[in-house]
Structure 1
Amino acid sequence: MTKVKRYHPLLMLFDLWQLLKNIFFIFIFLFIIKAGSQSLFITYGRLLFFIVCGVSFIYIILKWVTHKYGLDDRCFYLYKGILCKSERTIPFSKIQNVNRHTSLFHRMFNVTSISFETGMTGEDAAVKYEVVSKKEAERMEEFIASAVHEEAMNLSLLEMAVEKVDSNRVIHFKPMKKDILKASFTSLSFLLFIPLLLSFYSKVDDIFHVVEQTKGIFFSIIGSWWIVTTIVIVLIMASVGFGIARTFLKYGKYEISSDQDRIYITKGVLDETAFSIAKEKVQAIEIKQSILKRLLGFAEVKLTSAGSLSLGEEKLEINSLYPFLPDGRAYDMISEILPAYEVTQKMNRLPKKSLWFRVFSPSWIWMISSAALFYFKPAVLGIEQAWWIISAALLMVVVAARWLDFLHTQYILNDRFIQFKKGSLTTSLFVSKRDKVIEVKVTRNIFQKWLGLASIETINRAKPIQHNEIVDVPVDFAVSFYKWYMGRRKEIEIE
């Protein structure tokens, strides 16, 4: 084992920065908004504030002194605890994904953060280094790469450099300016500007009482149509500019690349994030399209992994190849990056009896809402009998959603692959290999038995466990599905 060492000294400054961000609004409330208050609640609150800050500051120093780490050619060794000491050993063979995140703080000091995600669950499922030098991060990856290579597991972790792409890598996608512009409108980021502006105005008003001081100015402004028009135009332009800027900062340096063994995703202009996953660790693929993306011809390809696909605030986003890929390019990219996966666009549709079963199945949402409307009988726009109109409209929405879900639902068994699509307004296409499915379920209720239908479900390793279900398929397909899964025995080797 290499020498046990303390974490980077800048970790104390990083933890202090996190503490300041967490207590900022409490400080504003206690010492600025309530500056003149003499109540016991505020007085004791200020005292508690100083105690918490002092204890936290001492803890940050003690944590850096007592927490250490080391690694050899096979494992991570983590030591922590101030009063109660503990030691963790994480074998490199458990590593699923490698995530790097370089925030503005890290860039200022030329450091980075890195997380080695495992397939385990719980708080200690990942080996995280919040602050580490880039050289040390590369050294860790080299240790893992050499160890895995020696064990001949075909899970080689190659050096992941954010600023340089290895000559063996193939770059599959880099967004152009027009892609960023389309993404800014498709993501509806511009709609966030007005709520953010109102939230900021509300906080300023709480401190400086702006509303009371500007009443006269406000009424004079709304009394002039050309001033109102100018303000509206400025707000629209500012919203559009905000949406474009926000999208550029998030996806401006987006890059998808791969080599023989791994997939690499880098993103971010100010806060840089890099993600790496072994192709063999991909449990499933999901192609999602909202109604707006379908109209504009976009799709989002997501990867399912047994390890956590997150780092800090990037949770639930970093597993996406790119949220705004042209739908044709999305299918092509899957075959380029993951040649072991086969995606077919020709699938089977549900029989018509599935539609009738869905339409006439009871809707608890509609029944409970209608009962509440009948009991309260609210008058809407002066119409006393509006409750039954709302109930009828809700029933039409439920039926329309079920009809759309019927139209979009498709399924197929393709040799070693299972593939199905479902959804009403937002559709999801799921693809997985048989050896990556850890469990299946086939269920039938009494009505499905009468109509010769069934529901099937697959379960894949992920965080959390991924369940994918398709309902009201013909019972013959459900039987074939179960037999197809039993063929997994020939593909799985038990150690």
Structure 2
Amino acid sequence: MYKAERNHILKIFYDMAKLIKEFIGIVVAVGVLVSKIGLMKSILIGSGLFAVVILCEFLMWRKNFFIIRESSIYHQEGIFNIKKVEIPFKRINTIDVSQKFIERVFKVATIKIDTGDTSNKGSELKFTLKRTRTDQLRDILLKRGTIDNESQEKKPYTVKPRELIVYSLISNSVLKGIGMLFVAQQFFDQYLKNFVSVNTSLYVDELKREDIYHAVYTISFIVLGLIFISMILSIIYVFFKYYDFKMWSNGDKIYIKYGAVNRKSYSFDREKIKGIHIKQTFLMQFFGFFTMEIESIGYGDEKEEKAILYPMCTNSLKDQIIEDVLCEFKYIGEITKPNKNAGFRFFYKKIIFWAVTVLICLFIKPEFAVFTLILLLLLMIIGYLEFKNTAFGTDKNLIYMAYHGFNKTQSVLKMTAVQSLTVSHTYFQHRRGFCDYSIILYSSNAGKILKVKNLKNGIAERAFK
């Protein structure tokens, strides 16, 4: 304690990308100088500039340190513009310990520390240290005093491999698989087409010569093949991301660990959780599965990161997790859904969009207008799901909101997490006694807004008096 600590020396190698960029600039500059002042002088100047860059990186590493004090953590960084910050332990909201593959090889880890300060983007403090030290530091900051031991905690909730497979197939991860196919196709076009020659025009010409039934059959076969490949890629992606997922609580703390190659470990104070979000894709709604996320500043604000509490669970397991881990978010108040006479308001914009699409098709190529019936069916399903999923309710301490169609979300939020409530309506909504409710949350995503539409006016007034 009270001893200055710095990032592991591996942190310098993390900044190699920046060094390489600087080095490329130096090479270009030296290339210009060669024709002006000669080779030897240019090499000397280039070497001097490169040495300056390396020295600056070293000084930045040297001047970036932290000190653990009695009840706070002090951090200082910067060479010319020096930044100092001291954070009391009680203000720490989330602690994230992660290990990339290269970090696991060198037995180091990255610890990220966040408070409830919504003005910061990403983690407020981030250090790369020996893995044993990150665990010790996490325990000190959480005032636990001993290294974390799962055997002394409550039995963790775990996700089995077969559940990850099901999750990958019914979540939006399949779309990531399609994205991976697109990236692979771009890679093939850029790097492999000179080595592997595939003349796709021959297949296109052959397809044009076939009758319409054979063409539809061929296209359907190709589409199904692409979907199958994307599903396999989705399974691989989800398995590596959420492998060995564990979530458990210990008093007022919650812990989450997962990951095969890049291992993630999160620790945060349960009292600082502002809400939970229970999400369902279209297929998850059909099969009765849920994904649970939390609203906690500092968790889920990094790139490609979700504030995941549990990736996939049944309705009974969802209720059990809320009862066991987050009982304060067990909503028991009344829930108001849209009246039947408000149903048309979930459809009319979609019908207008479809009608415009039909008119455009009739002007461009009338035969295409028939295919807009598929679009109409899709829009009607979305409208029905939005109508069915929309709900709003309040009790003494919580707000309940449900919204979206294909990707349904149920949010249960603490009253104290609400920055403002806005009630809005159009002229026609007002005449029918309907309005929209928008809530702005205190969140790391500045101005995060949740909105439900076409509900009865006045249902939230009692809760905010």
Contact 2:98 2:111 in 1 (8 A): yes
Q: Secondary structure at the match of 1:324?
A: strand
* Residue 67 (structure 1) aligns with: 64
Q: Secondary structure at the match of 1:323?
A: strand
Residue 461 of structure 1, aligned match among 436, 442, 450: 442
Q: Secondary structure at the match of 1:106?
A: helix
Query: Which has the higher mean CA deviation after the structures are superposed, 278-287 or 7-16?
Result: 7-16
Residue 245 of structure 2, aligned match among 238, 247, 254: 254
For each residue in 1:34-70, what CA deviation from the matched residue of structure 2 results, as whole angstroms up to 9, or x when unmatched? Answer: xxxxxxxxxxxxx9x9999877644422311222222
Q: 1:118 to 1:473 in 2, by over 3 A?
A: same
Shift of 1:71: 2.4
Q: Secondary structure at the match of 1:132?
A: strand
For each residue in 1:411-453, what CA deviation from the matched residue of structure 2 results, as whole angstroms up to 9, or x when unmatched? Answer: 3333432213222222111112323333222233322221122
For each residue in 1:394-414, what CA deviation from the matched residue of structure 2 results, as whole angstroms up to 9, or x when unmatched? Answer: 666555533331222223333
Query: Which has the higher mean CA deviation after the structures are superposed, 98-107 or 436-445?
Result: 436-445
* Residue 97 (structure 1) aligns with: 94
* Residue 182 (structure 2) aligns with: 195
Contact 1:457 1:468 in 2 (8 A): yes
1:290 counterpart = 2:281: yes
| Equivalent position amino acid for 1:97 in 2 | T
Query: Which has the higher mean CA deviation after the structures are superposed, 270-279 or 401-410?
Result: 401-410
Q: Secondary structure at the match of 1:263?
A: strand
Q: Secondary structure at the match of 1:8?
A: coil
* Residue 474 (structure 1) aligns with: 456
| Equivalent position amino acid for 1:119 in 2 | G
* Residue 12 (structure 1) aligns with: 12
Q: Which runs of 5+ in 2 are unaligned?
A: 29-42, 208-220
Matches within 5 A, 1:85-484: 85-123=82-120, 126-146=123-143, 161=148, 164-171=149-156, 173-187=157-171, 188=174, 190-192=177-179, 194-205=181-192, 209-210=194-195, 241-305=232-296, 307-310=297-300, 313-315=303-305, 317=306, 319-344=307-332, 347-360=335-348, 363=349, 378-380=363-365, 386=369, 398=379, 400-464=381-445, 465-477=447-459, 481-484=460-463
| Equivalent position amino acid for 1:13 in 2 | F
Q: 1:181 to 1:50 in 2, by over 3 A?
A: farther
Shift of 1:7: 2.5
- Distance in 2 (alpha carbons) for counterparts of 1:103 and 1:4: 25
Contact 1:343 1:431 in 2 (8 A): yes
Contact 1:160 1:276 in 2 (8 A): no
Q: Secondary structure at the match of 2:118?
A: coil
Q: Secondary structure at the match of 1:140?
A: helix
Q: 1:297 to 1:56 in 2, by over 3 A?
A: farther
Percent identical among aligned pairs is 18
For each residue in 1:13-40, what CA deviation from the matched residue of structure 2 results, as whole angstroms up to 9, or x when unmatched? Answer: 23226766x899x99xx9xxxxxxxxxx
Query: Which has the higher mean CA deviation after the structures are superposed, 237-246 or 427-436?
Result: 237-246
Q: 1:357 to 1:200 in 2, by over 3 A?
A: closer
Shift of 1:104: 0.6
Contact 1:138 1:159 in 2 (8 A): no
Q: Secondary structure at the match of 2:341?
A: helix
- Distance in 2 (alpha carbons) for counterparts of 1:469 and 1:234: 39
**Aligned pair count?**
431
| Equivalent position amino acid for 2:324 in 1 | E
Shift of 1:241: 4.7
| Equivalent position amino acid for 2:3 in 1 | K
For each residue in 1:349-408, what CA deviation from the matched residue of structure 2 results, as whole angstroms up to 9, or x when unmatched? Answer: 221222244445xx3x8768866875796533756xx4xx67787666555533331222
Contact 2:22 2:53 in 1 (8 A): no
| Equivalent position amino acid for 1:322 in 2 | Y
Q: Secondary structure at the match of 1:197?
A: helix
Contact 2:337 2:392 in 1 (8 A): yes
Contact 1:263 1:277 in 2 (8 A): yes
For each residue in 1:137-169, what CA deviation from the matched residue of structure 2 results, as whole angstroms up to 9, or x when unmatched? Answer: 2332343234xxxxxxxxxx67674xx415133
| Equivalent position amino acid for 1:342 in 2 | K
Contact 1:73 1:143 in 2 (8 A): no
Q: Secondary structure at the match of 1:348?
A: coil
- Distance in 1 (alpha carbons) for counterparts of 2:441 and 2:375: 35
- Distance in 2 (alpha carbons) for counterparts of 1:394 and 1:68: 58
Q: Secondary structure at the match of 2:111?
A: strand
Query: Which has the higher mean CA deviation after the structures are superposed, 90-99 or 183-192?
Result: 183-192
Q: Secondary structure at the match of 2:244?
A: coil
- Distance in 2 (alpha carbons) for counterparts of 1:142 and 1:276: 10
- Distance in 2 (alpha carbons) for counterparts of 1:396 and 1:372: 14
* Residue 84 (structure 1) aligns with: 81
| Equivalent position amino acid for 1:203 in 2 | Q
Contact 2:118 2:443 in 1 (8 A): no
Q: 1:441 to 1:174 in 2, by over 3 A?
A: same
Q: Secondary structure at the match of 2:15?
A: helix
Q: Secondary structure at the match of 1:309?
A: coil
